[in-house]
């Protein structure tokens, strides 16, 4: 069932062509705006990928909420629905990340190119469940999009060394970007991966809990004949 | 439109209405032959091709296979003193119903009287504030709104719902297509968002019966239906009933009520 849900979700995402184009354009616009400064360009590109995937995830989960509730009423598992939809979103995000990795490889002379791949993959893997969490807590598109805007804009503006930035979900993206681009030590990579691991576990657990709470139907006893 | 074009339009419309293509061709050929024998243009004899095809399709359509004998089965839904409150507003008060397999119950009431809420309570998507709800495990549920995904085709819906019921993709599509034909509709490779409101509703209803459930919950399933589709729907309801399923239908069309086993009238909180 999970595979069918993932395949179905991929088709749904693929058919929202205008939304997909905008999602792809967002990181590109960030990248182009800072193309003259390598470090900033890659940082902003990665944050743009995270923002785009989280927004896609938010809209995908909000739009499928009614159908998912109907499916759980007739026997679908909320976990399978969440995992299937997340798999489709992660696949879409990773495909986009692969394209942008190619763009960076072609247009930039990066100190540690392999770390850019790690940076983009970890960003996508955080963004997909992050969008799900927001959609399940704020089940309307506008409110959810504004919440993501607040989180991402703060992430971009906050001092990376400050507590606020570290409490936000994509701090790992900034650390891993620094490791990929700047001549810094391995501690940036380790801190980034550790933060990624904590955030991805927290987001996934929160998304799963919220999905089960919101989608699980009432357990009704069978009537005696 | 010449006679050949009339013939082709009739054939095409019959196929669109879910008539088996061979049967559609035979009906169209018979009509053309009859017109030829009478020496009249088919449009003069039968009227517009699409309208005549619609009448032919209604006459040709057979009810889905169902045993003729009607027997009451075990209880599939039992509501006892069900209440539902949203904060201070009481939506349902003391609702009682016993529905057996082989029976149809209609839920009626004014707008805002809690009909859809009651269906949600029966489905398990809404928690009752009080009373007891017992129902069969295998249910079909067609909600009034948001029952289909606008970016999926009917076949993709069938595969998705089929997967939930443990059906293979081929079987799910074949079953969905067969059930759609009973409602005078042949699914095409078009996403649901581009279907008319009535056709979306047919898809909604078909998804609710894909797994031959023991209890079928329908929330105003005929919205957007034309007269023939409406009659087809009730033929389907009786076919499910005769096959042993219990059917709970939310309706506001009072002339349906003499054909059902139970009528549950809900009163809105402002009417009490």
- The per-residue pLDDT of chain B, averaged, comes to 85
Domain boundary residue, one of B12, B35, B60 = B60
Cβ contacts (< 8 Å) between B127 and chain A: which residues?
A: 218
pLDDT computed for residue B22 by the predictor: 80
Q: Say yes or no for a CB contact (<8 Å) between B146 and A66.
A: yes
Chain A nearest CA to B229, separation (Å): 24
Is a pLDDT exceeding 60 seen at residue B67? no
Same structural domain for residues B128 and B222? yes
Task: Look at residue B66 in the predicted model and tell me its pLDDT.
Answer: 43
Same domain, B147 and B54: no
A183 close contact with B: CB closer than 8 A: no
How many contacts (CB atoms, under 8 Å) link A and B? 88
Tokens matching residue A198: 């904590």
- Residue of B76, B129, B149, B171 to mutate, testing the A interface (most A Cβ within 10 Å of its Cβ): B149
A221 in any annotated domain? no
Rounded (5°) CA angle B66-B68-B72: 90
Q: Are residues B237 and B132 in the same domain?
A: yes
- A160, containing H or E segment: none
pLDDT, position B269: 62
Decide if B162 is inside a domain.
yes
- The number of folded domains in chain A is 1
Residues B55, B169 within the same domain: no
pLDDT of residue B64: 42
**A142 belongs to a structural domain:** yes
Domain assignment of residue B203, given as a range:
117-271
- A109 located within any domain: yes
B259 assigned to some structural domain: yes
Q: Is residue B129 part of a domain?
A: yes
CA Rg, chain B, in Å? Answer: 21
In a domain, B199, yes or no: yes
Domain termination site, one of B19, B38, B60: B60
Beta-bridge partners for B265: B108
Structure confidence at residue A8 as a pLDDT band (50, 70, 90): very high
Q: Are residues B51 and B122 part of one domain?
A: no
Residue B262 falls inside a structural domain: yes
Neighbours of A55 (CB within 10 A): 24
Whether residue B74 lies inside any domain: the answer is: no
% residues pLDDT > 90 (chain B): 41
End residue of a domain, out of B60, B92, B108: B60
pLDDT digits (tens, 9 = 90+) for A138-188: 888 899 999 999 998 898 888 888 889 889 999 999 999 999 988 888 899
Q: Measured between alpha carbons, how far is B172 from A223 in angstroms, rounded to an integer?
A: 29
Residue B106 lies in a domain: no
Q: Please judge whether A221 and B134 are an interchain contact, meaning their C-beta atoms are less than 8 angstroms apart.
A: yes
> Lowest-confidence range among A99-103, B9-13, B157-161?
B9-13
Examine the domain organization and report whether B181 and B267 are in the same domain: yes
Instruction: Quote the domain boundaries for residue A140.
Output: 2-215
Measured between beta carbons, the chain B residues lying within 8 angstroms of A224 are: 75, 134
pLDDT tens digits, one per residue of B181-219: 888 888 989 999 999 888 898 999 999 989 889 999 999
Tell me if the pTM is above 0.95: no
CATH of the domain at B220: 3.40.50.300
Spell A77-94 as b/e; 16+ CB within 10 A means b.
bbebbbbbbbbbbbbbbb
Q: Which one of B78, B117, B123, B158 would you mutate to disrupt binding with A, by most A Cβ within 10 Å of its Cβ?
A: B123
Distance between B74 CA and the closest CA of chain A, angstroms: 5
Nearest CA in chain B to A219: B124
Domain count for chain B, please give it: 2
Does the pLDDT value for residue B63 go beyond 60? no
- Asked if residue B51 belongs to a domain, the reply is yes
The reply to whether B137 and B258 lie within a common domain is yes
Q: Using one digit for the tens of pLDDT, what is the confidence trace for B220-249? A: 888 777 777 777 788 888 888 988 899 999
| B254 and B157 belong to one structural domain | yes
> What's the mean pLDDT in B164-171?
92
pLDDT higher than 90, residue A5: yes
Q: Centre a 10 Å sphere on the Cβ of residue B93 and count the other Cβ atoms it contains.
A: 18
* Both tokens assigned to B147: 């029952």
Nearest CB to A69 within list B125, B165, B211: B125
ipTM of the modeled complex: 0.87
DSSP structure string for chain B: --HHHHHHHHHHHHHHTT--HHHHHHHHHHHHHHHHHHTS-HHHHH-SHHHHHHHHHHHHPPPPS--SS----SEEEEEEEEEEEETTEEEEEEEEEEEETT-EEEEEE-TTSSHHHHHHHHHTSS--SEEEEEE-SSEEEE-SSS-S-TTS-HHHHHHHHHHHTT--HHHHHHHHHHHHHHTT----S--GGGS-HHHHHHHHHHHHTTT--SEEEEESTTTT--HHHHHHHHHHHHHHHHTT-EEEEE---GGGGGGSSEEEEE--GGG-
């Amino acid at each position: 069932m999970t595979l069918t849900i993932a395949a179905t979700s991929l088709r749904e995402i693929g058919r929202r062509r205008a939304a997909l184009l905008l999602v792809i354009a967002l990181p590109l616009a960030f990248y182009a705006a800072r193309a003259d400064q390598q470090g900033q360009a890659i940082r902003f590109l990665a944050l743009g990928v995270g923002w785009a995937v989280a927004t896609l995830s938010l809209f995908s989960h909000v739009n499928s909420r009614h159908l998912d509730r109907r499916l759980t009423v007739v026997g679908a598992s909320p976990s399978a629905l969440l995992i299937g939809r997340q798999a489709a979103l992660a696949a879409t995000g990773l495909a986009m990340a692969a394209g942008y990795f190619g763009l960076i490889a072609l247009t930039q002379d990066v100190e540690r190119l392999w770390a850019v791949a790690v940076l983009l993959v970890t960003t996508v893997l955080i963004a997909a469940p992050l969008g799900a969490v927001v959609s399940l807590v704020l089940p309307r598109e506008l409110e959810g999009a504004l919440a993501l805007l607040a989180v991402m804009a703060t992430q971009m503006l906050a001092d990376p060394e400050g507590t606020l930035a570290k409490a936000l979900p994509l701090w790992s993206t900034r650390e891993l970007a620094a490791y990929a681009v700047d001549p810094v030590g391995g501690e940036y990579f380790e801190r980034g991966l550790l933060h990624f691991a904590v955030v991805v576990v927290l987001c996934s657990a929160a998304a799963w809990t919220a999905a089960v709470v919101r989608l699980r139907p009432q357990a009704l006893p069978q009537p005696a004949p | 439109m010449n006679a050949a074009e009339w013939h082709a339009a009739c054939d095409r419309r019959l196929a669109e209405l879910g008539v088996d293509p061979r049967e559609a061709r035979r009906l169209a050929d018979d009509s053309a032959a009859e017109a030829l024998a009478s020496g009249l243009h088919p449009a003069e004899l039968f009227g517009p091709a699409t309208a005549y095809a619609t009448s032919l399709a209604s006459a040709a359509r057979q009810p889905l296979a169902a045993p003729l004998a009607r027997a009451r089965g075990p209880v599939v839904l039992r509501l006892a003193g069900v209440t539902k409150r949203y904060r201070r507003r009481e939506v349902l008060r003391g609702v009682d119903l016993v529905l057996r397999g082989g029976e149809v119950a209609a839920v009626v009431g004014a707008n805002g009287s809690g009909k859809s809420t009651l269906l949600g309570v029966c489905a398990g998507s809404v928690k009752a504030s009080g009373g007891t709800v017992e129902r069969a495990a295998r249910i079909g549920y067609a909600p009034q709104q948001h029952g289909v995904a606008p970016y999926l085709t009917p076949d993709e819906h069938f595969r998705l719902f089929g997967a939930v019921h443990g059906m293979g993709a081929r079987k799910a599509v074949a079953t969905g297509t067969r059930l759609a034909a009973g409602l005078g509709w042949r699914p095409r490779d078009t996403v649901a968002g581009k279907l008319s409101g009535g056709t979306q509703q047919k898809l909604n209803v078909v998804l609710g019966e894909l797994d031959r459930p023991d209890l079928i919950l329908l929330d105003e399933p005929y919205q957007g239906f034309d007269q023939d589709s409406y009659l087809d729907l009730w033929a389907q309801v009786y076919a499910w009933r005769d096959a042993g399923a219990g059917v709970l239908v939310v309706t506001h069309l009072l002339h349906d009520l003499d054909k059902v086993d139970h009528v549950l009238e809900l009163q809105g909180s402002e009417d009490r």
